[in-house]
Amino acid sequence: MSAAKRNVKKYFLNQALMEAKVDEYLASKFHSVGYAGVELQRTPLGTRVVIYAERSGVIIGRRGQTIRQITRVLEEWFGIPNPQVTVVRVENPELNARVMAFRLAVALQRGYHFRRAAYNALRRIMGAGAKGAQVRIAGKLRGERARFEKYIAGKVYKSGNQVVRLTERAIAHVLLKPGVEGVEVIIAKDAPTDDHVRIKEPEEVAEVVKKIREELEAERAAQGTVEEVAEVKEEQTQEQTQESSGGEQ
């Protein structure tokens, strides 16, 4: 591997590592306000930092005080040159796996029973229009032995390309008196799968059938016209041949 390729590879690895560190810091600070993720984009003027959250106003703060603090931390702690922070509100937080995982972790931290919190999360996810959802909670749920419980609603994909294309997964942790509990949320989006086949109703294809019939009739008419022209030319050729043979005689 040449030095240029090594430098390019190292650059992208450092970028991914920096984004992971920033994401971990923001998640630990704003998990209770529906933090969903962050993106770092290099620009000629500096680095554009886009933060996605359910309650964007809390991250911005009163008169922008919190966002100025975040900008200072990103510049001094993480060494990001001239960070320009933008906060974007998540339009449908119930369909965002990370938001729901943090929301479930906060509910457990506030003392809600794990089963009640899990079913509440599933109900909200399915009510928002998801095709399926799975909630898995692990830890010392009842007693000294650690175990896990899993709750599923709808259809959740576990294999195939639809796992990458239609499924979103997030994990969150919460520290309780018995110990650390882990939360996993999987959300399957309501979209057609790769092998989905839908047969249209006759009313839906009426216009298409009409258009195809018109095209076929036009083709037949054109074909008939061509045949008629060919017959006329053949008759003219025969007449000319007969005239020429009669003249020779």
Domain boundary among 52, 70, 90: 90
**Within this chain, do residues 112 and 33 fall inside the same structural domain, yes or no?**
no
What pLDDT score does 38 carry? Answer: 92
Structural domain includes residue 208: no
Structural domain includes residue 81: yes
Tokens of 37: 């993720």
What pLDDT score does 79 carry? Answer: 87
Domain boundary among 68, 90, 112: 90
Q: What is the CATH classification number for the domain harbouring 13?
A: 3.30.300.20
Could you tell me whether strands 132-139 and 147-154 are parallel, antiparallel, or unpaired per DSSP bridges?
A: antiparallel
Q: How many residues does the chain have?
A: 249
What pLDDT score does 151 carry? Answer: 95
Task: Say whether pTM exceeds 0.75.
Answer: no
Q: In angstroms, rounded to a whole number, what is the distance separating the alpha carbons of residues 112 and 23?
A: 27
**Within this chain, do residues 170 and 126 fall inside the same structural domain, yes or no?**
yes
Residue from 62, 59, 5 nearest 34 by CA:
59
Per the structure, the complete domain to which residue 72 belongs is given by 3-90
Q: What is the mean pLDDT of residues 27-41?
A: 90
**Within this chain, do residues 112 and 136 fall inside the same structural domain, yes or no?**
yes
Given a cut of 70, whether residue 112 has pLDDT beyond it is: yes
Instruction: Write out pLDDT tens, residues 126-141.
Output: 999 999 999 999 999 8
What pLDDT score does 12 carry? Answer: 85
33 DSSP assignment: G
Q: What is the mean pLDDT of residues 74-92?
A: 89
How many structural domains does the chain have?
2
Instruction: Find all residues with CB under 8 Å of 178, minimum gap 6, and list them.
Output: 139, 140, 144
Given a cut of 80, whether residue 232 has pLDDT beyond it is: no
Q: What is the mean pLDDT of residues 122-129?
A: 94
Instruction: Write out pLDDT tens, residues 3-22.
Output: 667 788 888 888 889 999 99
